[in-house]
Chain A
Amino acid sequence: MSRIQTVFQHLKADSRKALIPFITAGFPAPEMTLPLMRALVDGGADIIELGVPFSDPMADGPTIQRASETALAQGMSLRKVLDIVRSFRSENTDTPVVLMGYANPIEAMGVDTFAAAAQAAGVDGVLVVDYPPEECVNFARAAKAADLDPIFLLAPTSTEQRFTDVAAVGSGYIYYVSLKGVTGSAKIDIDEVARRIPRIREAVGMPVGVGFGIRDAQSAQRVGAVADAVVIGSRIIEEIELSPRGEEAARVAAFMREIRAALDAIPKTGVNS
């Protein structure tokens, strides 16, 4: 069983929801990423999504784009992201790490080379934003051969057919994009999310995480009441941006604890995951 599946199994046994924070590797500086990952774990992260910076992040909003530009300007690269994961894995063997990014850096390295290197570094899953199921037959094969879970997105606009397509190639969990837009957008329609999640979970047969637009304990709690996992990204990047230099890890851990507490306060009755 993969590390990701193990995490979801334990959470289910405890009737708890997964908290999945996202940070951009190399932001605000390459040497800050490992301490920030530790802070995320201290603050209650169940899985860490680590963003691989790309020069043209089309699906991201201004916050994550800025973070990517800062990271790239300091020489961050896919290889260096894998080095960071290797360091993290040497001290933490439990918390799954999912790389989230765009296809081109992976294709530049070579899909098979990447999959092997990611497995060796201790990566557990990979979410490639611009690889929809129909364009990633080779990639999904390479990922699975290297015991990496290929994670896919679903959106409010996705049809039943898309649920099936994604379930056929994906594993680990499904990332439901809770609104039409880019990362960090303000509006989230939680009633709409609540209507969609049960059917999606049934169709894909995997845990469903919800992200894009979750900004505080309250929205996290409301989403957590219907989903299996809550993903928070842009809001954490903003926390890092606002933090005085040197205090980033402490502030991120404090923010995470608020969210964790809100998720753990969700009543355990009537939860069907």
Chain B
Amino acid sequence: MNRFFAIKTTANQERVVANLMEMAVKKYELGVYSILAPKELKGYVIVEAEKMEDLLKAIRGLPHVKGVVKGEVNFSEIEHFLTPRKAAEQIKEGFTVEIISGPFKGELAVVKRVDEAKNEITVELIEAVVPIPVTVKADHVRVVDKKEEEV
């Protein structure tokens, strides 16, 4: 049974650590099977290994490794990193959203159209006098109200 461990790394060096670990694993033929560096988990790398010793051997002497997090990580805890849902899939037409980046930051808007393929949504700003459709990335909004109004 494989186990999952978390290692603490310097922020933004997760990929470097993962690459160096991969080299060490191949060189010493260690029982480490996969290395995961999710975008959401800054400063950590999740390692799937057979046992703790293999992990410790793989990170020995590596730069940017700050330590190993005590205990194990359950597979269920990392499962959601593997199948990230697009932000647009969680937004429906009629939702009220707040724009959280770009020139309209802080503005409330109503969703008029959702393009899941492009991960974009078209919104109309609530406070604008004349309704102008604005297309923004779905990651750049926060859902405020999930009430689906008539569009």
A and B pair up: no
**Which A residues lie at the B interface, using CB under 8 A?**
none
